[in-house]
Amino acid sequence: MKMRTTLLVLLVMVTGLCKAQQVKVEESEQAINGMLRRGQQLTVQLDPKTVEKSWKDYLGEKAGKVKSSRGIFTIEGATIDTITTAPLRVLSTVGSSATGSNIWWSLDMGTAYVDKIATPKEYAAAEDFLRGFARKLYREDVLRQINNAEDVLRSTKAEQERVVKQANDIQSTIEKNKKRKQELEAELVRNADELKQLEQEVINNRKQQEVSRQRVLDMEKAVEVVRAKLLEIK
């Protein structure tokens, strides 16, 4: 039962690896500090806490120092050369919905916001940036699942080795018991033969006792005869 459960867990993990990961980026508006801002939203099917931490680290690595306040990430003077050479003001949030974890950001180039219509080139580059992050997330998630699956596999192999060793130990004990049984049966046969021999010796001893007793009686009679002859001498 334990082995079947372990294999089921492994199967679920492998199924997770094979499942197609979806990356969705769309233009979206969000209220930040009471002001409605237009930006981009990335949706991934991963845990929100993991996504939020990874996104903050990714922004810090790729764009600049991240400040966090009331769930809003802010980077002043961010540098993302793949999007634009102009310094950016980045506002970002991470949330979740029925469709997955959502990463939203707004990019202020100083003279204009990154917009699908007004700045299509920068918009496409920003979209690629988000997709790149999503691919990184999914790769890391797949690696985690692989590591977990390998842990389960190692555990399963160890359990299999334990069960096989247990079977070998049981078989060895059975063989020892069979051998001991044969030895005991042989000993019982020897004991039975020895008992018969002892019983025969008892019978023989009784006969010898009778012969010896008769000899004693005969000798006593012989002694009496000799004594009688002695009395006859005068």
- Judged by DSSP in three states, 1 sits in coil
pTM (whole model) above 0.85: no
* Buried-state track 15-30, b at ≥16 Cβ within 10 A, e below 16: eeeeeebebebeebeb
Tell me what percent of the residues of the chain surpass a pLDDT of 70.
90
Whole-number Å distance between alpha carbons of 95 and 51? 9
Which of 53, 51, 27 lies closest to 40 in space, CA to CA? 27
The mean pLDDT value for 174-197 works out to 92
User: Picking from 35-44, 100-109, 124-133, 210-219, which range would have the lowest pLDDT averaged per residue?
Assistant: 210-219
Query: Is 38:27 a contact under the CB 8 Å cutoff?
Result: yes
Order the strands of the 67-69 sheet from edge to edge.
24-32, 35-44, 100-108, 88-97, 72-78, 67-69
Q: Supply the Cα-derived Rg of the chain in whole angstroms.
A: 49
pLDDT at 212: 85
Evaluate if residue 21 carries a pLDDT over 80: no
Mean pLDDT of 197-208: 89
CB-based contact 92:104 (threshold 8 Å) = yes
The domain 24-141 having CATH identifier 3.30.310: the answer here is yes
Of residues 226 and 193, more confidently modeled: 193
User: Could you tell me which residues are beta bridge partners of residue 24?
Assistant: 43
**Measured distance CA(222)–CA(75) in Å, rounded:** 139
Q: What is the mean predicted confidence (pLDDT) over 169-180?
A: 93
pLDDT for position 52:
96
Task: Find, among 153, 165, 162, the residue nearest to 7 by Cα.
Answer: 153
For the chain, percent of residues with pLDDT exceeding 90: 65
Interval 54-78 mean pLDDT: 95
For residues 75 and 55, give the distance between their C-alpha atoms in angstroms, rounded to a whole number: 13
Residue 20's pLDDT band (boundaries 50, 70, 90)? very low
pLDDT band at 14 (very low <50, low <70, confident <90, very high): very low
Mean pLDDT of the chain: 88
pLDDT of residue 12: 52
- What span, in angstroms and rounded, lies between the C-alpha atoms of 37 and 232? 160
Residue 5's pLDDT is 52
Q: What's the whole-number mean pLDDT along residues 174-187?
A: 93
CA neighbours closer than 13 Å in the CB half-sphere of residue 56: 16
Q: Name the nearest CA neighbour of 52 among 88, 123, 100.
A: 100
The whole-number average pLDDT for the span 168-180 is 93
